[in-house]
Structure 1
Amino acid sequence: MTPQAFRDAMSTVVSPVAVATAMDGSRPHGTTVSAFVSLSLTPPMVLVSLANGSRLLAVIRRTGRLGLNILGAHQADLAIAFARSGPDKFDGVTWLPSQDRPRLPGSAAWIAAEAGDYVTAGDHTVLLAHVLTAEPGEGDPVSPSPLTYHQRSFGTHTPLAY
């Protein structure tokens, strides 16, 4: 199997899109992630995958704190901005501190979590995190759908009538 074949196969999977965030002193850090899921209800936990060389992962390892801003369909611009490399991802982005984590207003949902276990898996680290707070966000009343990633592009979910 080639890496391209694997990428092509995985592009058929619809993934939710979130911006994972953490504070490094007074400086916010964040990155777009599509590899996160609800892991456990008792206790409440999520799983997030971050690149081993990620600045955000280094900050989370130091602080033990992270936030997940689950994006709405109207926030594709934030997904793109936080997917790029560089330290200036928050330039021009409105955010507010929430439980010492950067929160992006207008997101579909907000999760504040504490780092649990770290599992190295290939070129990524899987973080098992304990959820402290989970809240639906204010979202976009016109387009309340979540932002998703499928076939290498952003989209949203449309319920089927049946």
Structure 2
Amino acid sequence: MHSPLKPSQAVPPNFSQTEFRTALGMFATGVTIVTALSPEGQPIGLTANSFNSVSLAPPLVLWSLARSAGSMAAFSTGSHYAINILSADQQDLAKQFAARGDDRFAGVQFTPGAGGAPLLHGAAATFECFNRSRYEEGDHVIFVGEVERCAARAGASPLLFHGGRFYAEHPL
């Protein structure tokens, strides 16, 4: 039996970035706010839906951040960050942390977690992560965090994102 040779690189895409983004939007995700402290000790955070589990032993999770993000230096050099999974009633918070130029923490209640990373009040779940490793891929950096502490709020429904819109959980 003859096995075909593996190509040395991918074929160039036959779709636009807009088409790619639209197709990716068909994958429903939860919504998170990733938080940390800047080198000056100020809370920083951003809305992200690029969150996933990696390993149970050790407990690892991942998320990704655009290389062009203003908070890249702080997340790359800090020892800890927190991933806050938003509950269904936190849509306004998701929008607040996605906005550019505003004080994202204005009016936000939080408790300092590991390394001072803010744990947002009302989150469905929180993961306090040691900033274990980073991988540069394309226009993003993939962060892998080793979870030192986690908590889930009993009965909380998650905020969901699909096709460019927010949804609340509705069991089938």
TM-score > 0.5, shorter chain as reference: yes
The answer for the alignment partner of 2:140 in structure 1 is 124
CA contact (8 A) 1:114 1:130 kept: yes
In 1: Cα distance, 2:164 partner to 2:135 partner: 26
The list of structure 1 runs, each at least 4 consecutive aligned residues, that deviate by more than 4 angstroms after superposition, is none
In 2: Cα distance, 1:7 partner to 1:148 partner: 17
1:81 aligns with 2:96: yes
Alignment of 1:1-162 (within 5 A): 1-24=15-38, 25-86=40-101, 88-99=103-114, 100-137=116-153, 144-160=156-172
CA distances 1:12-63 after superposition (whole Å, capped 9, x unpaired): 1101100000012331000000001011101000011111122333112222
In 2: Cα distance, 1:114 partner to 1:57 partner: 16
1:156 corresponds to which letter in structure 2? Answer: A
How far has the Cα of 1:97 moved from its partner? Answer: 1.1
**Counterpart of 1:81 in 2: which secondary structure?**
helix
In 2: Cα distance, 1:107 partner to 1:57 partner: 23
**Counterpart of 2:89 in 1: which secondary structure?**
helix
CA contact (8 A) 1:22 1:56 kept: no
In 2: Cα distance, 1:73 partner to 1:47 partner: 22
Q: 1:87 to 1:26 in 2, by over 3 A?
A: farther
Q: 1:137 to 1:57 in 2, by over 3 A?
A: farther
In 1: Cα distance, 2:72 partner to 2:128 partner: 15
Where structure 2 has 5 or more consecutive residues not aligned to the other structure, the ranges are 1-14
Where structure 1 has 5 or more consecutive residues not aligned to the other structure, the ranges are none
TM-score for both structures, normalised by structure 2:
0.85
TM-score for both structures, normalised by structure 1:
0.90
In 2: Cα distance, 1:128 partner to 1:41 partner: 13
In 1: Cα distance, 2:135 partner to 2:102 partner: 25
